[in-house]
């Protein structure tokens, strides 16, 4: 963050100045059109259920008339008709084999879900952990407004006197003990569950009044995401095979006095907003996510809204998971051309699958015939 601030400052001062070197050129992936028959698992994969997820988001995808035509055709498909669904995608789209800037043709596939937490609108001895909305003093600067080459990059901070400072870290926020200067949406009981709510980016709060509300990502404090599981492995607290969400929760229950220090390792902090009552959590593409058919991707390489054929395996298994899913979300830890986060749905069962998923996978991007595949953000 400090380096970015210096970059902005140097642009305002004539030379000589200690300006940083020019930015490196953006990472570039390659996209090679292939036949559907060349995609392993395509002919046997169920396709009809993918249509619903596609229809939910296709109107937002930026492919002009070509995507509009595909949207209209998808809406006219008979529900549940496998042959019609397969014929639709094969006639309307071209699949592209994706190769990352480093030549990689596969990457890490993890899982995420929508947690459901017991909560209250009022603080109490039981519900003492705040689910914060966006603080009034959090500034978000879109760097592309002044530097087009930094498109997609934002600077987050706070004003102290006449200077822009990094925003408060997780540790600094949590030490305020609920007295932090941000609106509180609700209070939950478990700091670990709250931590994972932030990692997932959305969830449901089951209020003690009987009401259930959905919350989603609103902003972030600007600090980079750091893996708690990797941190505990490096400290010798657990082994790689134990570093699942379930393993971390078990460690936290056994080490309550050391928990806050471990959580502070990930200085990133997520602020939420209440969402309208919809069929699923809202992803970065601003449409409800479909359990089992939506993924989070790195939008530098996979355009949001694109159908993606994902070939991976089920959690802790060699059983193939080969499915046509939709790129409808992003995430701070989702970095890389073949990096994907598979949305399992809501609740404890989905959480158990998501927490154990750490597989290898490959993606093929589908884009309408006759439309130019947009180059995602650098």
pLDDT value, residue 62: 60
Please state the φ and ψ torsions of residue 34, each to the nearest 5 degrees: -135, 170
pLDDT value, residue 16: 38
Domains of the chain with bracketed CATH:
40-112+288-368 (2.40.40.10), 119-275 (2.40.240.50)
Task: Specify the pairing of strand 184-188 against strand 139-142.
Answer: unpaired
For 93-145, give the DSSP string.
EEEEEEE-TTS-S-EEEEEEEE-EEEEESS--SS--EEEE---TT-EEEEGGG
- Give the SS3 label for residue 361: strand
Spell 16-53 as b/e; 16+ CB within 10 A means b. eeeeeeeeeeeeebebeeeebeebebbeebebbbbbeb
pLDDT value, residue 153: 75
Rounded alpha-carbon distances, angstroms, from residue 260 to 39, 68, 124, 224, 356: 46, 49, 20, 18, 23
List of the chain residues with pLDDT < 50: 1-21, 377-378
pLDDT value, residue 3: 34
Rounded alpha-carbon distances, angstroms, from residue 221 to 56, 139, 157, 224: 30, 9, 7, 9
Rounded alpha-carbon distances, angstroms, from residue 67 to 55, 74, 109, 252, 294: 11, 10, 27, 47, 18
Contacts of 253 (CB under 8 A, 6+ apart): none
Full-model pTM: 0.75
pLDDT value, residue 378: 44
Residue 223, both tokens: 């600090």
Residue 219, both tokens: 């902003």
Cα dihedral 326, 331, 337, 343, rounded to 10, equals -40
Region of residue 316 (phi > 0: left; psi between -120 and 50: alpha; otherwise: beta): left
Give the pLDDT confidence of 48-58 residue by residue, as tens digits: 999 999 998 88
3-class SS shares of the chain: helix, strand, coil, % to 5? 30, 30, 45
- Tally Cβ neighbours within 10 Å of residue 113: 28
Rounded alpha-carbon distances, angstroms, from residue 320 to 43, 98, 141: 14, 20, 43
């Amino acid at each position: 963050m400090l380096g970015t601030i210096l970059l902005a400052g140097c642009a305002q001062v004539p030379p000589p100045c200690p300006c940083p070197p020019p930015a490196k050129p953006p990472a570039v992936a390659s996209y090679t059109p292939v036949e559907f028959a060349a995609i392993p698992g395509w002919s046997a994969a169920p396709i009809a259920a993918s249509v619903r997820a596609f229809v939910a988001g296709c109107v937002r995808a930026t492919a002009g008339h070509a995507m509009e035509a595909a949207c209209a055709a998808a809406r006219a498909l008979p529900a549940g008709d496998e042959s019609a669904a397969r014929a639709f995608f094969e006639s309307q789209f071209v699949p592209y084999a994706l190769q990352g800037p480093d030549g990689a043709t596969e990457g890490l596939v993890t899982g995420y879900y929508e947690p459901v937490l017991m909560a209250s609108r009022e603080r109490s001895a039981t519900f003492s952990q705040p689910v914060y909305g966006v603080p009034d003093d959090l500034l978000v600067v879109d760097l592309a407004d002044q530097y087009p080459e930094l498109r997609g990059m934002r600077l987050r901070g706070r004003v102290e006197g006449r200077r822009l400072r990094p925003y408060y870290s997780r540790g600094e926020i949590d030490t305020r003990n609920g007295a932090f200067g941000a609106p509180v949406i609700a209070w939950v009981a478990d700091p670990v569950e709250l931590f994972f709510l932030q990692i997932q980016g959305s969830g449901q709060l089951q209020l003690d009044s009987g009401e259930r509300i959905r919350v989603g990502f609103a902003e972030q404090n600007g600090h980079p995401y750091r893996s708690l599981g990797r941190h505990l492995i490096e400290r010798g607290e657990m082994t790689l095979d134990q570093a699942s969400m379930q393993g971390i929760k078990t460690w936290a229950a056994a080490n309550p006095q050391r928990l806050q220090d471990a959580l502070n390792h990930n200085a990133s902090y997520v602020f939420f907003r209440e969402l309208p009552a919809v069929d699923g959590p809202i992803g970065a593409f601003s449409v409800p996510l479909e359990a089992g058919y939506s993924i989070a991707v790195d939008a530098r390489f996979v355009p949001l809204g694109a159908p993606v054929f994902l070939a991976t395996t089920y959690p802790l298994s060699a059983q193939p998971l080969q499915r046509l899913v939709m790129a409808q979300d992003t995430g701070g830890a989702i970095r890389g051309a073949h990096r994907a986060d598979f949305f399992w749905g809501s609740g404890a069962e989905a959480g158990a699958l998501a927490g154990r998923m750490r597989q290898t996978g490959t993606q093929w991007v589908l884009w309408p015939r006759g439309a130019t595949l947009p180059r995602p953000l650098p």
